Amino acid sequence: MGSCLSRSSFTVNKHHTTESIRTYPVLFSMTDAEGVLGDSDTGTYLLYKDYESDKIYLSVRLSNRVRHHRISEVNRLFYLEKQPYPYLDSIIFYHRRHKLRGIRLKQQAHLSARVVKAFSHKIAAANGNLPDHHPHSHPPSSSSTTLTPRTSSSHRVSRSGSLTSLITSSSDSTTATAHGQRL
């Protein structure tokens, strides 16, 4: 019946079940949040930082649609619906007990590895950080061909969020070189 608090998440122990709750925003998009929450139960939520606008949102599944609540930060306080909160996680904790516009937050949306990979690929493609070849093609065969890592000088993908390292690592690509020249 206790909880273990850490800076970025906490665990709630109830009757021999353990549920881990993410209390920091993931890097995501509003469109993808709607896709993830579209088939979820009422009260399912996702806290994320929108990739396109760089703003924090709490999206909640209602009975027939998804509602997006913008969270703003002013003078080290987070505001949701003009109500101040000292921390982002306090918004989640509070609205798991008290309704937010008629809906209580029930469960956090599940982000599968497939969803995360698809989003990471979309961001890498938008930034031009994908290799030029198709995934099923093979690099040209040559005895002097080597693969060297190529990194982008643009770090648009390195905005803060939990997917940053995944996106950054997936955006690194390899370029085939022969005798020091790009093919």
**For position 20, what pLDDT does the model report?**
67
Longest dimension (CA), the chain: 66
Under DSSP, is residue 107 helix (H, G, I), strand (E, B) or coil?
strand
C-alpha angle 22-28-34 in degrees, rounded to nearest 5: 95
Q: What is the pLDDT of residue 96?
A: 95
Q: Tokens 């906490």 belong to which residue?
A: 10
Cβ 159 vs Cβ 54: under 8 Å: yes
Q: What is the pLDDT of residue 95?
A: 96
Q: What is the pLDDT of residue 53?
A: 94
Phi/psi-derived region of residue 82, left when phi > 0, alpha when psi is between -120 and 50, beta in every other case: left
> What are 143's two structure tokens?
């005895």
State how far the Cα of 150 lies from the Cα of 88, in Å rounded to an integer.
36
pLDDT value of residue 172: 37
Q: How far apart are CA 12 and CA 107, in angstroms?
A: 12
Helix, strand or coil, per DSSP, at residue 151 = coil
Query: pLDDT tens, position by position, for the chain (183 residues)?
Result: 444 444 445 455 444 444 567 778 989 999 999 999 998 999 999 999 999 999 999 999 999 999 999 999 999 999 999 999 999 999 999 999 999 999 999 999 998 889 888 888 888 888 888 765 555 544 444 443 333 333 333 333 333 343 433 333 333 333 333 344 433
For residue 131, what pLDDT is reported?
66
Structural domains of the chain in order of their starting residue, each with its CATH number: 3-110 (3.30.505.10), 114-133+143-174 (no CATH)
pLDDT at 92: 94
Cβ atoms of residues 38 and 47 within 8 Å: no
CA pair distance 34, 38, nearest whole angstrom: 6
